[in-house]
Amino acid sequence: MMIDVEDLIALVRNYNPRTNADLIRRAYAYGFKMHDGQMRKSGEPYFTHPVAVAAILTEQRLDDATIVTALLHDTIEDTRSTYSEVAELFGTEVAELVDGVTKLTNLQLSSAQSQQAENFRKLFMAMSKDLRVILVKLADRLHNMRTIKSMKAEKQAQKARETMEIFAPLAGRMGMQWMREELEDLAFRVLNPEARNSIIRRFITLQREAGDVVHKITADIRMELEKVQIEADVYGRAKKPYSIWRKMQEKDLAFSRLSDIYGFRVICGSVADCYRILGVIHGRWRAVPGRFKDYISQPKNNGYRSIHTTVSGRDGKRVEVQIRTREMHEVNEAGVAAHWSYREGVRAVNPFAVDPANWIATLTERFDEGDHDEFLEHVKMEMYSDQVFCFTPKGDVIQLPRGATPLDYAYAIHTRIGNSCVSAKVDGIRVPLWTRLKNGQSVEIITAEGQRPQASWIDIVTTGRAKAAIRKSLREEDRGRFVKLGQELARAAFEHVGKKSSDKALRTAAKMMGLADEVDLLARLGSAEITARRVVEMLYPELARKQADEVDGTRPVVGLSDDQSFRRAPCCQPVPGERIVGITYRGQGVVVHAIDCPALEEFEEQPGRWVDLHWHSGRHAAVHTVSLEITISNDAGVLGRICTLIGEQKANISDLRFTDRKPDYYRLIIDVDLRDVEHLHMVMTALEAETDVAQISRHRDLTRKP
């Protein structure tokens, strides 16, 4: 049944006597007219839905603009109404809000991962413009979930999943715990009705066996407070079925072994009374260690303040007790929405209400614009996480999500501190960086110049900020390495055709390939995304064609006399494309070394033995053996995959020997026959990308003399 306009106005007048009743009447009439003839799946007139959404928002005592937006929230989307018409009739503020809700309605938040991340970004952008948009959207979703039975089964499941994954956690993150619980339970009813019914049945059995536990414990708490003459309201309740189900899943417990399935709330007049009540409760019942949280002295960033403690009550049953003042309770129920709430006819100036602009800033300030997965990971982590409060050595408080490590803490202080972190002390004791932090711990970070983030850190940290900073640093570090490699590969490829790899030539090639600049080109060369041969072919197609001729494998170097034989030095194993030099040996011909080979030091005083050499241009045969040292995880099939990867790069394995065997890893040396330095780079890049390869490097054995 639809609420009459005068009844709706009466609901608003209850908390805001100065309401603009005429504005609400006009919006009601306009919405009624626009939706005339439209029906809901249940068979009711469609306009019953916007009116019900408005009524839900009156329970949160919201301002006129939000109530009017609720009445009109589907007009631009579902009727002939337009933004300009709504702005003309009801003002720009209302039109902007209605437009914001319409855009949110069109977002497919449960779509594919990358699109979901982009839609999440739009959701948060809409929220950052005006948070009331999401308040209307949450009330809209709540009413739709309350009336979901009239939808088709697959649509019910889709809406319920979206509610469980996105809207319920968002309501919780905004501090609207009552809404989170109801949304979760309505979704739970759709997604797992058997589980929900079994919990309700067990509750009924429990009440039959133990009597009304809630009433008994509430009376006990009231009696203890009366003894010390503290005035307070005491409420008790059984927790929602979904909350109990989640605890059973998380802790892998049967219903009979669950402890705190009842929750109690004590609401009093002052902060001083909160701590006195805590003393009374701990004096009467035994506190459960590790289950005490003081969110009064350390509030959550959505404005939530309360003391939580769990005690062993009657018959050893554990119960959770929350203690707070009336003002705190108002904020805890309304969450961020408290900013717009009215109390006794005026906009409430609640000292505990959080500024929505600050709240949204804390949620969005650290999102990486470029990486969809990082964005989504960060948003979901921010929405779901409970908080841990840690102290700096100076006594400042750092707020982190549960499960955070000293590395998360370091990055929360400053990216520079995180990047240069080498170890940490927790409560004065040195701990590993993967230690999970607990409430109230004091953390000190030890840094060192030259320290850089390690790839393994990604798996240690939990916060989006830390993950984004580590990934960025690794990208920059890898880019530097790849640019250096690319320069060497370009130099070798250009030399093959008798040209120099000048900045101008590289810039021209980058432009022809549609890349940003020559640095981007070099980075892609180094990361094996493109080959140096392709760059040369693009700039010098005629020369590249000549170069494609196969080089004689018996005489691949230029600079030897006809009677001089040669061989590659076994210590440095030079390959075509690398700079080389020859050293003459009596009776052995010339031994070819890489120009940076440490073995050349012993010949510095013998310049007469040095021969200036370079590789023939053209395509070399894959006959140049290079030894690679690889560390792989000791798992079934890993070695086979490594050999397959090398084969896929058209390289042949000529020898393989293990140098170290441990329970969790193997270290081995693989001899691979290659064409040139580019071929070597392609093989190493392919192996480096394999997850079971922990380390790979070129093996140079200086004990092997020519």
Catalytic residues: 77-78
Burial 640-660 (b: 16+ CB within 10 A, else e): ebbeebbeebebeeeeeeeee
Q: Which value, in Å, is the radius of gyration of the alpha carbons in the chain? A: 35
- Other C-beta atoms lying within 10 Å of the C-beta of residue 668: 18
Q: Which of 145, 131, 160 is nearest to 69 (CA)?
A: 131
DSSP alpha helix (H) spans, 446-575? 457-460, 464-496, 503-512, 518-526, 532-539, 541-547
Q: Which of 292, 574, 579, 316 is nearest to 440 (CA)?
A: 292
Residues 113, 116, 118, 124: what is their CA dihedral angle, to the nearest 10 degrees?
A: -140
Report the distance separating Cα 137 and Cα 132, nearest Å: 9
Report the distance separating Cα 437 and Cα 316, nearest Å: 30
274's enclosing H/E stretch is helix 271-284
- Most distant pair of Cα atoms in the chain: their distance: 112
Q: Which two tokens stand for residue 668?
A: 């081995």
Report the distance separating Cα 65 and Cα 24, nearest Å: 9
For residues 418 and 410, is the Cβ–Cβ distance under 8 A? yes
Strands (DSSP E) contained in 209-330 are 232-238, 262-268, 286-287, 293-294, 307-312, 318-325
Report the distance separating Cα 184 and Cα 164, nearest Å: 6
- Other C-beta atoms lying within 10 Å of the C-beta of residue 8: 23
The number of angstroms, rounded, from the C-alpha of 311 to the middle of its chain's C-alpha atoms is 35
Which distant-in-sequence residues (6+ apart) come within 8 Å of 131 by Cβ? 336, 337, 339, 356, 359, 360
Q: Which two tokens stand for residue 447?
A: 């840094």
Report the distance separating Cα 445 and Cα 523, nearest Å: 34
